[in-house]
Amino acid sequence: MQSSSPLLARQPQYALVAQRLIEDITSGRYPVGSLMPTEFDLCTQFGVSRHTVREAIRRLLERGLVTRQRGIGTTVKANRVASRYVQTTATIADLPRYVEDTLLVTTQAEDVIADEALADLLKCPPGQRWVKVTGFRHADKDKLPMALTDIYINAAYGGIRKLIGTLKVPVYTLIEKQYGLTIVEVQQEISATIIGTADARRLSVKPGSAGLVVTRRYLTDNDRTIEVAINLHPADRFSYSMSMRLQIPADADA
């Protein structure tokens, strides 16, 4: 496969094959309910290896376009890509993109005192006061929320609560500008979960559906946590992408 576009030329072959197959599906070349060509036929068609074809098909599976069944093959399931927000983060500077690309609709703001369970979650002493802001986060103009969001702000910086959701800037940025602080570390935890009945109703998914919890803690240079953001995502509306590259010392070959 060849491309005159430098951008496309830098993409791996499986991504190029996947994009071409997506175009074939959305254009109607492979209608919903029809079988895709076999792996062997796709290898011949694109002049690539079976591994490349399998990776391309995996991308179609992730986007909800096809299904696979042993003994039958790959069947076209839909002719449009399922709505899913993909977040890619490498540095703290990448975090604002998540806020810029999504819309936070707040529903409640209240003062809370951390009991033992909440203190364990926030990594703070029991009895500490926080401002809790609750809401939904939407991707683009999607009506269905991509996440339930709980934002906890150290009470000393609770003066920014009325600004949350009104500006497309991260909460930690509001705190930095309002109080002259600098966030030097973001601790992130990602865990799988089963969405309970109450949250499932709010997210418009079935109770017991798979979910992803992304928790971020924002620390200043004295290791003080000033914000904790917790986002509960339905599994089919969000994915997280991270790229890591080995750095070889300059004198390694010396």
Q: Please, which pLDDT band fits residue 243 given cuts at 50, 70 and 90?
A: low
Tell me which residue of 153, 120, 115 sits closest to 134, measured CA to CA: 153
85-241: CATH superfamily? Chorismate lyase-like (3.40.1410.10)
Domain ranges of the chain: 6-76, 85-241
User: Does 174 score more than 50 pLDDT?
Assistant: yes
**At 214, which helix (H) or strand (E)?**
strand 210-219
Q: Which residue has the higher pLDDT, 158 or 244?
A: 158
| Interval 35-48: pLDDT, tens | 999 999 999 999 99
Residue 143 has pLDDT above 60, yes or no: yes
Task: Characterize the bridge pairing of strands 238-241 and 85-88.
Answer: parallel
**How large is the average pLDDT for residues 98-112?**
85
Is 137's pLDDT higher than 80? Answer: yes
**Distance from CA of residue 234 to its chain's centroid?**
10
Min mean pLDDT across 96-110, 140-154, 207-221 is at: 96-110
pLDDT digits (tens, 9 = 90+) for 6-35: 334 456 788 889 989 999 999 999 999 999
CATH of the domain spanning 6-76: 1.10.10.10
Average pLDDT, the chain: 84
Contact assessment for residue 242 and residue 90, using Cβ atoms and an 8 Å cutoff: yes
- pLDDT for 53: 93
Task: Give the residue from 20, 23, 57 showing the smallest Cα distance to 40.
Answer: 57
Two tokens at 2? 């060849």
